[in-house]
Amino acid sequence: MIFILLIVIVYLKLSCNSSLDNSIGKDGGKTNGDPSSKQNIDGNKIGGDEIFDPIYDEDDEPNVQPKDEDEDDSIIEPTVEISSNINDPNLPEYEPNSGIDHNIDEPLEPIIEPTLEPELSPNYSGTLLDTIKSPNEISVMRILELDNCIEYLIEYKGTMVIGTSSFLYSVGVDMGRFCDVKLLDQNYRMIEDDWNPVAGQREIVPNRYTEAILTFGDESNEKFQLTIRAFDEGIAFQLQFKNPSDVFKSSSKSVDLTIQAQVNMSIGIEGILYQDRGGENGFASQALSKAIVNGWTWDLPMHPMTVQYSNEICFSLTEAENLNFESLRFATDSSFEFVRAYFKKTDFRAEKEIKTPWFTFILGSKPGDLIERAYIVDNLNEPCQIEDTTWIIPGKVFRDLALSTESGKASINLAVFANMNHILLDAGWYGDEYSKDSDPRNWKPIPKKGNFIIIIWFILILILIIYLFIFIYLFIFIYLFIFIFYLLKAPLDLVDVINYGKSKGIGVWLYVNDIALKKYFNEILPLFSSWGVAGIKFGFVNLSSSKDNERILGYIRECAKYKLMVNIHDNFRPTGFR
The pLDDT value recorded for residue 115 is 31
The CA angle 271-274-280, to the nearest 5 degrees, is 170
Which among 126, 211, 219, 203 has a CA at the least distance from the CA of 166? 126
Phi, psi of 144 (to 5 degrees): -135, 160
CB 60 within 8 A of CB 80: yes
Burial class (CB in 10 A: 0-12, 13-18, 19+), 92: middle
CB 226 within 8 A of CB 151: no
Per-residue model confidence as pLDDT tens for the chain (578 residues) = 444 433 434 344 444 444 434 333 333 333 333 333 333 323 333 333 333 333 333 333 333 334 344 444 433 333 333 333 333 334 333 333 333 333 323 333 332 333 323 334 444 567 999 999 999 999 999 999 999 999 999 999 999 999 999 999 998 778 889 999 999 999 999 999 999 999 888 999 999 999 999 999 988 889 999 999 999 999 999 999 988 888 887 656 678 899 999 999 888 888 998 887 776 777 888 888 777 666 665 555 678 999 999 988 999 999 999 999 999 988 876 665 678 899 999 888 777 889 999 999 999 999 999 999 999 999 999 999 999 999 999 999 999 988 889 889 999 999 999 999 999 999 989 988 999 999 999 886 444 444 555 556 666 666 666 666 655 555 565 555 555 555 555 688 999 999 999 999 999 999 999 999 999 999 999 999 999 999 999 999 988 788 999 999 999 999 999 999 999 987 788 898 77
Which among 463, 403, 462 has a CA at the least distance from the CA of 429? 403
Tell me the C-alpha distance between 137 and 115, whole Å.
9
The pLDDT value recorded for residue 379 is 97
pTM assigned to the model? 0.72
The pLDDT value recorded for residue 216 is 96
191 membership: H or E segment, kind and range: strand 182-192
Secondary structure of residue 454 in the 3-state scheme: helix
Q: Give the contacts of 551 (CB within 8 A, at least 6 positions apart).
A: none
CB 220 within 8 A of CB 246: no
Residues β-bridged to residue 1: none
**Four-CA torsion 135, 384, 369, 338, nearest 10 degrees:** -80
Secondary structure of residue 273 in the 3-state scheme: strand
The pLDDT value recorded for residue 200 is 85
The CA angle 152-220-260, to the nearest 5 degrees, is 30
CB 182 within 8 A of CB 129: no
**Four-CA torsion 546, 550, 556, 559, nearest 10 degrees:** -140
B/e letters for 169-206, b = 16+ CB within 10 Å, e = fewer, are bbbeeeeebbeebebeeeeeeeeeeeeebeeeeeeebb
CB 184 within 8 A of CB 221: no
